[in-house]
Structure 1
């Protein structure tokens, strides 16, 4: 029969165990978990890795200022490895097992669309930081990148203008998935409204990870012989390196055939010899070269963070780009909405997001539309410089309101300008 001392000793141990467990639970509840879901391997890692680190920098900054609702943020990082179905699996794990309050992530539209059903089923919330094709408006997503009227249409208008070279013929070149195909469908319709004939539009696609652009560049060169030609590139991921290398090898310079890219920024140029690429263009809502106190502060924060963390590439040559800015804006807008709602509950945060504003690193205040879950953003066109940066050659006079449903596509006239509610 156990002695009283035995009972006493085990009672103490039991109390200690219960205290330890309840203490652990209290500690777990004392943080707010946020999901970070970007490809850290595979073809999209070249673009997405920096976005993961941008979220972590913003979280560190917020935590240093006292966190959110008096609690520190805790990042849960997952790597879907450029595998689109894996994005859905990772999102489900983040929402059901890790119990994150929000997810910051995705780059390609195919990854975002893979995640959407999971978000809708589980009432999850995603902040999506990259330009995209529009034709979507989900209650579960806030789109902090550009819609087509905030990037693609202004870029084409610029290339048609005398300042942009007065292009008459067009090569629409992209990676073979939903974003390039839908964007090019919109652009083809837009070009027709500007009097461009089908014979003056050449549309081409390559798979993810494609590396042999010799025949495509040769075709572009031949096509351009029949009139002033511009290339609109919606190539994504590391294929951009192969495309620009082939352009250089073929001696196709910007003065002959300018290329405007929608997925090439400072990070993608890092691995290229940019001297022969000088004069080619990119359309974004932010460039690192923008002169503003807000941008100088953003670059300094990133430089200190990258060096302190020893981030590959960035510790020696820190670079910022548009999707990084959109990511940074998204984290801070979510924080503001949580504080306004006094809750991380998704329904309350969605309501509180309407009309939120933030002084962006561009130096311009952006606003989350009251209805359509998109930012009002400025548009910039930058020209590649020999040193690897962009010089802004054109910009909108004020932020542009996003039009997620393109009026150029059939059936959009009666589309709602706000996402359906649960």
Structure 2
């Protein structure tokens, strides 16, 4: 497959340059930030941080840990003296895996609790639910989970992976290293899997994969009866061509899915599964013996051998008072996003949304792999991509790692998206700028 992640990143940067050429007066990186103190809580009062993660329902298996890591990060920052000389206070709510309730809880955090920023959501449907609230009330959301792209909002900082920072490199790995020719795109039935699979289907076809060699399947949240679907996957993989499953299955449905793979004797050597939403936290609830050798694609694994990661794990297990408590990719995304927010607030001299949003662009923070991530003008961060094999102990053996990749918020493989970029620096300040027409608002999306 000829389009490498690095080449795609350079292509998007080229489009960015073309767009900037149409916008007079745009110079420098990052934009100049005013230093005026803004309205907010009285000096000395705690700065409130919203934590918007499901602590009950189908997504609690994944999101509870993200609430806990935010509490740890707040505690650690307070030990350093807080932010702007003020302590931080976490305000935790439970949207209970209920998508409309996410919007209600977001409004509560912003309007009633007066939080300076919020860290939250997992599924794209929850993010889509809260997005109008954050835009209406001009507040900031840090979103820590891989997603489908096709969006860039002034009020959201996407610290999880875009498709070219996870899904596309995973497919490239399977094609190159495993010789995969037939593809099962299996996902939970909501925005992220459907859009990601639309991108992957277009990408695979652009590489010459026949439509008959692509099987797409969706199941509802919490799906538990996988016997027929796994049988279908097994049959699809019996054609003589190497077959793999690309999984965007989310939440607790992963438990019976992987169990059924084992029940039907599907081994990683026969039909490997690469998952985008299964990490160390999810594996902690599974019998991993039948899963050894199956894969996951993330931007971080707990098994990363780096001093910064080891120190983070030590702090995490001490904070939770559990020496067996695992870490995972979205936790690292919150770690990066939180530290970027602290830097931006200190840089802006205020917690007020607009100066902080401007100050965020260009901020760099350490990741847990020994390098740094940078917040780009499209409100996405730079990331390496790691492929890991599941081990008996529920950890991942890292078998591949890319260089740092710049996120593509708009997919070059979808009609209507390939000519779009996002750049939130002034004077452009646009989430879907069309580089061909030279106009903002090139697609029906947040801008």
TM-score of the pair, normalised by structure 1:
0.90
Measured after TM superposition, the shift of residue 414 of structure 1 is: 3.1
Question: Does 1:38 pair with 2:50?
Answer: no
Is the Cα–Cα contact under 8 Å of residues 290 and 362 in structure 1 kept in the other structure? yes
Report how far residue 141 of structure 1 moved.
0.2
- Deviation of the 1:416 alpha carbon: 3.3
- What's the CA shift for 1:205? 0.2
Q: Give the match's secondary structure for 2:250.
A: coil
Residues 69-101 of structure 1 show CA distances to partners (whole Å, capped at 9, x for unaligned) of: 000001100000000000000000111000000
1:388 equivalent in alignment to 2:394: yes
Aligned to 2:194: 181
Q: Which residue of 1 aligns with 2:292?
A: 278
Contact 2:138 2:353 in 1 (8 A): yes
For 1:29 and 1:213, the matched residues in 2 are separated by: 55
TM-superposed CA distance for 1:291, in Å, is 0.2
Q: 1:197 aligns with which of 205, 210, 219?
A: 210
| Distance apart, 1:412 and its partner CA | 1.5
Describe the SS at the equivalent of 1:374: coil
1:167 to 180, 183, 192: 180
Residue 226 (structure 2) pairs with residue 213 (structure 1): yes
Equivalences for residues 257-296 of structure 1 within 5 A: 257-296=271-310
Structure whose CA Rg is larger: 1
Counterpart contact for 1:87–1:115, Cα < 8 Å: yes
For residues 145-174 of structure 1, give each alpha carbon's deviation from its aligned partner in whole angstroms, at most 9, with x where no partner exists.
00000000000000001x2x1000000000
Correspondence 1:3-402 to 2 at 5 A? 30-161=45-176, 163=177, 165-226=178-239, 227-307=241-321, 315=322, 317-369=324-376, 371-396=377-402, 398-402=403-407
Residue aligned with 1:375, SS: coil
Contact 2:44 2:85 in 1 (8 A): no
What SS does the corresponding residue of 1:413 show, helix, strand or coil?
Answer: coil
1:411 and 2:424 equivalent? no
| 2: CA distance, partners of 1:276 / 1:99 | 48
Deviations 1:121-149 (Å, cap 9, x if unpaired)?
10011000000000000000000000000
Instruction: Report the alpha carbon displacement of residue 107 of structure 1 after superposing the two structures with TM.
Output: 0.2
Distance 2:355 2:232 in 1: 53
Shift of 1:275: 1.2
Q: In 1, distance between residues paired with 2:381 and 2:246?
A: 24
Per-residue deviation, 1:375: 0.5
Task: Give secondary structure in 2 for the equivalent of 1:244.
Answer: helix
Deviations 1:280-324 (A, max 9, x none): 0000000000000110111011011010xxxxxxx2521000001
Aligned-residue RMSD, C-alpha: 1.4
Task: Decide which structure has greater helix share.
Answer: 1
1:372·1:417 contact (CA, 8 Å) conserved in 2?
yes
**Cα distance, 1:249 vs. partner?**
0.8
Q: Which runs of 5+ in 2 are unaligned?
A: 1-39, 431-446
Q: Distance in 2 between matches of 1:234 and 1:329?
A: 24
> Quick check: 2:247–2:275 contact (8 Å CA) kept in 1?
yes
CA separation in 1, counterparts of 2:278 and 2:259? 13
Which digits, 9 at most, give the CA deviation of each residue in 1:228-274, with x for residues without a partner?
A: 10000000000000100101111100000000000000000001111
Higher relative contact order (CA 8 A, sep 6+): 2
Please state whether the residue corresponding to 1:347 is helix, strand or coil: helix
What SS does structure 1 have at the residue aligned with 2:153? coil
Q: Point out where structure 1 has 5 or more consecutive residues left out of the alignment.
A: 1-24, 308-314
- 2:53·2:63 contact (CA, 8 Å) conserved in 1? yes
Q: Is the 8 A contact 1:364 1:378 kept in 2?
A: no
